[in-house]
Amino acid sequence: MKIPEKFPYEIAALNSETQRVYLATHQFLRDGIDGKFPFEVSRIAKIDTIRFDESAKKIDIVFNKEFGFIPFREENVAQMRQTLQARLGKKFADFSLNLFAEKYTIEQLIPNFYREQLPPDVTRLPKSLPEQPPVVRNLSKPFAIENGLQNRHIAVWGSHGWYFDEAEDRWKWQRARVYQIVEDLLPTSFVQPYLLPMLENAGANVFMPRERDLQRNEVIVDVAGEGSGQMIFATGDTVLKATTAQPGFAIGELPYSDRENPFRQGSHWQFPASPTD
């Protein structure tokens, strides 16, 4: 079999059947890249390896990973296989043909959502979680949510906030400004009025580390500051006493040494949810 000049693969030492498969596959790629087929072929696709087993009547064609950069569906996978099988000729009509993008068959690259004839790949299915009761339930809601995000708990960070810069003796936004945009304000401007209600209306309990109900009142407590070591929150007849300070975050001394955990350099307080808790 005559091998064209400047053929991009070293196949002279291979048997004639394998050479034939290489030549047909290379032309298949060229024609696909030139748009001669009803399906797409990656423009940077190349042949990696061809395994020809005459006794088992099987041909494995392994392309590079770039061959798999296009979206695969059952339709174009079948078209690719039929087109390439026809290019191989009658001699290999009864051979099974397997096409790979690196180590995965092109059938494996079809998402479960688009599979109709192929069975779903169970390794991609989400694990079923045991039913968990919600942390809190809105008893005044006039309807019950049975699906959606019911009994799900989601933590949402609408960016960061203020911190006190001791060196400059002033409060600063944690994220730097970009032109006229304050990153610590922009995400919150759409997370709180839009994203949070959407998640909660779908049944989720949403937790935020930042204050979600905007108001003018602010209480700043420095746990590490001077004081008696006891913290009390009082409003009306309600008096809540904090538990003993527990380890928490503090910047500490930089740079950190080996095995030094900044989340144990400071402290934090815990308040009961009500006087009876």
Q: DSSP letter for 101, please.
A: E
Flag whether pLDDT at 26 surpasses 90: yes
Q: How far apart are CA 209 and CA 268, in angstroms?
A: 14
Across 119-144, average pLDDT: 85
Across 11-33, average pLDDT: 92
Looking at residue 276, its pLDDT comes to 60
Across 182-200, average pLDDT: 89
Looking at residue 143, its pLDDT comes to 82
Flag whether pLDDT at 191 surpasses 80: yes
Flag whether pLDDT at 45 surpasses 60: yes
Q: In this predicted model, what pLDDT tens digit does every residue of 217-272 receive, in sequence order?
A: 776 666 655 555 566 666 667 777 777 677 888 878 888 888 889 888 888 877 77
Q: Which residues pair with 105 in a beta bridge?
A: 100
Q: In this predicted model, what pLDDT tens digit does every residue of 253-264 receive, in sequence order?
A: 888 888 889 888
Contacts of residue 161, Cβ cutoff 8 Å, sequence gap at least 6 = 173, 174, 184, 210
Q: How far apart are CA 221 and CA 162, in angstroms?
A: 14
CA dihedral 252, 253, 254, 260 (to 10 degrees): -70
The residue assigned the tokens 């809190």 is: 136
Looking at residue 71, its pLDDT comes to 96
Pairing status of strand 205-207 against strand 153-155: parallel
Q: How far apart are CA 210 and CA 163, in angstroms?
A: 12
Average pLDDT, the chain: 86
Q: How far apart are CA 189 and CA 178, in angstroms?
A: 16
Query: For residue 72, which of 104, 28, 24, 96 has the smallest C-alpha distance?
Result: 104
Looking at residue 231, its pLDDT comes to 67
Query: For residue 50, which of 60, 64, 38, 37 has the smallest C-alpha distance?
Result: 60
Greater model confidence, 17 or 213: 17
Q: In this predicted model, what pLDDT tens digit does every residue of 136-171 receive, in sequence order?
A: 888 888 888 888 888 889 999 888 888 888 889 998
